[in-house]
Amino acid sequence: MAAVKETVDRVKAIDVDAYKYGFVTDIESEKAPKGLNEDIVRFISAKKNEPEWMTEWRLDAYRRWLTMDEPTWARVEYPKIDFQDLYYYAAPKSMAGPKSLDEVDPELLRTYEKLGIPLREQEILAGVQNSRVAVDAVFDSVSVATTFRAELAKAGVIFCPISEAVHSHPELVKKYLGSVVPVTDNYYATLNSAVFSDGSFVYIPPGVRCPMELSTYFRINERNTGQFERTLIIADAGSYVSYLEGCTAPQRDENQLHAAVVELIAHEDAEIKYSTVQNWFPGDAEGKGGIYNFVTKRGDCRGDRSKISWTQVETGSAITWKYPSCILRGDESRGEFYSIAISNGRQQVDSGTKMIHLGKNTTSRIISKGISAGRSNNTYRGQVSAHRKATGARNFTNCDSLLIGHDCGAHTVPYIESKNASAVFEHEATTSKISEDQLFYCTQRGLSEEEATALIVNGFVRDVLQQLPMEFAVEAQKLIAISLEGSVG
Amino acid sequence: MNKPILQRARTEAETALIERFDQGDRRLVGATDLRAAAMQRFADAGLPNRRVEAWHYTDLRGAMRTAALARAPDTATLPLARQCLAKPLAQTNAHRFVIFNGAYNEELSSDGAPPAGVTVSSLASALAVGDADVLDVLKADTPGTGDAIVALNTALMQDGVVIRVAPGAKVERPLAILNLMTGGFAQAAFLRSILIVGAGASIMLDEATAVCMPDATQANEALTVVVGDGARVDYAAQVAEQGANSVALHSLFVTMGANAQFNGFCLVPTAGLVRRQIFARLEGEHSTISLGGLSLLRGKEHSDTTLVIDHAVPNCVSREFFRHILDHEATGVFQGKVVVRQHAQKTDGGMKSQALVLGEDASMNNKPELEIFADDVVCGHGATVGQLDKNQIFYLQARGLSRGEAESLLLEAFANEALDLVADEAVRARFAGQTDDWLAHRSGR
């Protein structure tokens, strides 16, 4: 009976308030009618004042989506999503394309202040000079503000909402949109192609090292809305960019859908570093509410010696279905994937990566750390493959899982496929729990069991944290401590 | 997951197999309901293909276009069988049971009574009298029950050997099961053997599958091993003398009691398409299971080892160690899944798969899986794919070895590390001999 009591206590202890971004912003918004059909797709396209080719592109995606089935292979369980019971477009009413921050609803600015994201450049300038970050903030379906654009423009860097890029840089959008994640790539990517509302567009011209970190903050506010953002990052020959993405959502009883598509293109000698701190509302202790996160992220190392690096810290979402991948097309290109996935309560995580080696002497590295607590399930699912012409392909994979508590699960499903004699692949995976010796050592020195767990976990994930930009690393460390609150019985 | 997404037309082979069952074969005695239910499962699923997750790397539907026929028993081919038995691979000091062309053959089996403590009957006779133990084993719901190939075996099983080892019996002399086919044409065999080992007993079982005149044979074999509390079973198997277009399917089921031990090893030297599946369940505490294998492949050969280890109770240990050497256009597949159930605390699981890819067009697919629901466990797996180390070859060449000799030496060392797992010395020596032959063929010696 002791075990049962312990479980009950633990569930009680999971403090729902631990999710500190659960507030709702009371703001009037304009929504498209509920449901999805061709008219809604046209409506979204019209709202964005898109050219005809874009509308057709969306409609084509929608028609293809109708013929597709929802994927069921992931180790996640959820009631069937009624795609007709969702709003596909929501925008703060007061705002039809703000010219400057002064036109932005103060309520919105306060929301972002609460989230700790300063949108006013002068505030940022007032802070530490060296840690400037240009931010694109996306609220429900629209981008509300993008900072530091003028300064970026000086360097030739284009950083704007994708809805704007469709107008201002149609040649780039036409050339690259859907070139990494094809319209019919998978069920959710196709849905996104039909109804995507906004997202960030980044173009770094040849030889330019982006002068500051670029960042996007996504926030789902409205009830019953799905957020479908689309990010497109192009690093031209010899350029470098570091991009951060953060996500939060209010605490709601119902589940909200988030189906994003991120496409990265790295040309010759270019490097893209993409970091995510995903902290969507994970649902309450009983698994009620929370975000369904079905995301397609893929990078294409198109040029020789290009490099794409994914770093992710996944702490939120009721369901995570996400596999940031690299297509290593250019010779000597490199792909990296660093991931921390933490699940607590009744969260379900099925995440991992794909490294597709196509070019010669391509290398990839995968470091994945999964931590499951409470009654959650945490799966690493990854694929490493070398094609016939990928001579000298090299991969190293390390995925470690840590289990906290008796009711959670940790799973590892790697697919390692080598079609080339000169490919060298190494894979190692371990699963264990926090050692009692380590816990004892820490508690002996005056730490509470919870603090000790957080300390040990931070040590466990250190390899990945080191890959994050400094501003994010601090945030991520705190996030890990919050996510694991109540996980020690 | 085995449900087809779209209703699709049956292939010629599938239709032939289902029709053969429907038409009835008087040789398929006993277990009528069991067979019918299994056939229904097969009819629903069809031959495994890439859409079935457990068969992702082996497209049996594509490889088995037609279904071969089971040969009617005759005496005319017996002399040929005797010649086959004289071949080195059949040489053993064990007490041997021979299944020839799908039927247990006493004449070809070892003379005299089996070792003390061992009782033997044919599967056909056990089914004919409705042997309760045998039916229990066949009805047991194991992790592999849902597999289409297992269902096909249950539906069409012709014969096999049922071996019972009395509790406490320490059987010194190894036992051997040899599945022998005449070959010379597309011939099928569906065999099912059962080994029930009583508490505290120990036994060594050596199993081999061979064809006298290698051709497009299709063998579907299954072996169930029930290891009693405190018992120990050593098991060695090999596939040999198969034609290039042959299909050899083998399913091994192991259920283990408490404090039991099972050591299994399988050698696959040259084959057409080989699929070996192992479904093991640890049902008693403090048991240890160790599985190993070595596949030596060339040409367009394809070898698939797929295993599921189910830790249902605490305090058990499992170890898997598999190696592949792939030349030419050969394909190796290793899929290993270790499941640790919620109450199976203190589980210690380790799995390793290593492959040397020699041929430019050879490929290796690894899928080591962990599925863990208990928190106090130590589980790990490792998988590597690579080629021979250039520095090592250079080192040996610098000492006067030719490139071919240097390669052979390194390959032999790689293979021997796997063969070290074979418990029985005589079997290990035989496997080492076959490995030498394979390497000699490779270097053209």
ipTM of the complex: 0.86
Option in A421, A425, A426 nearest B360 (CB): A421
Cα angle vertex B4, ends B65, B254, to 5°? 80
Q: Which residues of B touch A (CB under 8 A)?
A: 5, 53, 56-57, 342, 355, 357-387
> Which CA distances in Å does B338 have to B159, B294, B383?
31, 20, 14
Query: How many CB pairs lie under 8 A apart between chains A and B?
Result: 116
- Select the residue of B359, B372, B385 nearest A424 (Cβ to Cβ): B385
What per-residue confidence (pLDDT) applies to A233? 95
Amino acid (one-letter) located at A388: R
Please give, rounded to a whole number of angstroms, the shortest distance from the CA of A354 to a CA of chain B.
Answer: 14
Q: What is the pLDDT of residues B267-300, one digit of tens each?
A: 998 778 999 999 999 999 999 999 999 999 999 9
Pairwise CB contact (< 8 Å): A404 & B375: yes
Q: Are B262 and B231 in contact (CB under 8 A)?
A: no
Residues of B in contact with A408 (CB under 8 A): 373, 375
User: The dihedral of CA A373, A259, A399, A233: what is its sign?
Assistant: negative
User: CA of A52, closest CA in chain B: separation in Å?
Assistant: 36
pLDDT of the residue at B7: 56
Q: Domain ranges for chain B, please list them.
A: 12-284, 389-445
Q: Which of A379, A351, A382 minimizes the C-alpha distance to A366?
A: A382
Beta bridge partners of A258: A227, A293
Q: Do B368 and A422 touch (CB under 8 A)?
A: no
**What radius of gyration do chain A's Cα atoms show?**
22
With CA atoms as reference, report the closest residue to A88 among A296, A259, A316.
A259
Question: Whole-angstrom Cα distance, residue B182 to residue A268?
Answer: 61
Contact B387 A422 (CB under 8 A): yes
- Residues of chain A found within 8 Å of residue B382, distances taken between Cβ atoms: 426-429
pLDDT tens, position by position, for chain A (489 residues)?
333 344 344 434 444 345 666 677 776 677 778 888 999 999 989 988 899 999 999 999 999 999 999 888 888 888 888 888 888 887 766 544 455 556 666 666 666 666 655 555 544 433 334 445 677 777 766 666 677 778 888 889 998 888 889 999 999 999 999 999 999 899 999 999 999 888 889 999 999 999 888 888 777 766 667 788 899 999 999 999 998 887 766 666 677 888 999 999 999 999 999 988 887 888 877 778 888 899 999 999 999 999 999 999 888 788 999 999 999 999 999 999 999 898 888 899 999 999 999 999 999 999 999 988 888 999 999 999 999 999 999 999 999 998 888 888 999 999 999 998 899 999 999 888 888 888 899 999 999 888 888 888 888 888 888 887 776 677 777 777 777 766 654
Show residues of chain B in contact with A382, CB under 8 Å: none
For chain B, what is the mean pLDDT? Answer: 91
CB–CB contact A410 B387 (8 Å): no
Task: Please tell me which of the candidates B57, B370, B384 has its beta carbon nearest to residue A431.
Answer: B370
DSSP string, A293-306: EEEEEEEEE-STT-
Q: What is the crossing angle of helices B390-398 and B403-419, to 10°?
A: 120
Summarize pLDDT for B215-273 with one digit per residue, the tens.
Answer: 889 999 999 999 999 999 999 999 877 788 899 999 999 999 999 999 999 999 877 89
Within 8 A by CB and 6+ apart from B203, the residues are B118, B165, B169, B171, B174, B175, B195, B197, B231, B232, B233, B234
Query: Looking at beta carbons, which residues of chain B come within 8 Å of A430?
Result: 378-380
Taking only the tens place, the pLDDT of each residue in B327-343 is 999 999 999 999 999 88
**Residues in A touching B5 (Cβ below 8 Å):** 69
Question: What is the identity of the amino acid at B53?
Answer: E
Between vectors from CA A152 to CA A146 and to CA A155, what angle results, nearest 5°?
Answer: 165
Which residue in chain B is spatially nearest to A426 when comparing CA positions?
B384
Q: Residues 418 to 457 of A: which have CB under 8 A from any B CB?
A: 418-433
Euclidean distance between CA atoms B434 and A164, whole angstroms: 69
The answer to whether the CB atoms of A411 and B372 lie below 8 A apart is yes
Show residues of chain B in contact with A415, CB under 8 Å.
56, 365-367
pLDDT tens column, B379-402 = 999 999 999 999 999 999 999 999
Asked if A426 lies within 8 A of B382 by C-beta distance, the reply is yes
Across B161-166, average pLDDT: 96
d(CA A391, CA A393): 6
Token reading at B379: 């589980």
Tell me the per-residue pLDDT of B6-19, one tens digit each, with 9 for 90 and over: 556 889 999 999 98
Please report where in the chains the tokens 């959820």 appear, as a residue: A78
* pLDDT for the residue numbered A120: 53
Best mutation target among A388, A408, A418 (most B Cβ atoms within 10 Å) is A418
User: Which residues in chain A touch residue B387, judged by CB atoms under 8 angstroms apart?
Assistant: 421-422, 424
Interchain contact, B365 vs A412, CB within 8 Å: no
Q: B375 and A421: CB-CB below 8 Å?
A: no
Question: For residue B386, which residues of chain A lie inside 8 Å, CB to CB?
Answer: 423-425
pLDDT reported for residue B1: 41
| CB-CB neighbours of A381 under 10 Å | 23
Instruction: Give the pLDDT confidence score for residue A111 in this predicted structure.
Output: 66
Closest CA to B330 of B361, B354, B353, B366: B361
**Structure confidence at residue A431 (pLDDT):** 86
Q: Where are the beta strands (DSSP E) in B316-359?
A: 317-326, 331-340, 348-357
**Cβ <8 Å between B377 and A431:** yes
Question: Measured between beta carbons, which residues in chain B are less than 8 angstroms from residue A401?
Answer: 370, 372
Q: Cβ contact (<8 Å) for A429 and B368?
A: yes
Angle at A166 between CA A160 and CA A169, to 5 degrees: 75
Q: Which of B372, B373, B387 sits opposite A421 (nearest CB)?
A: B387
**Of residues B56, B366, B371, nearest to A411 (C-beta):** B371
Binary contact (A401, B372; C-beta < 8 A): yes
C-beta of residue A320 within 8 angstroms of C-beta of residue A331? no
Give the distance from residue A175's alpha carbon to the nearest chain B alpha carbon, in angstroms.
34
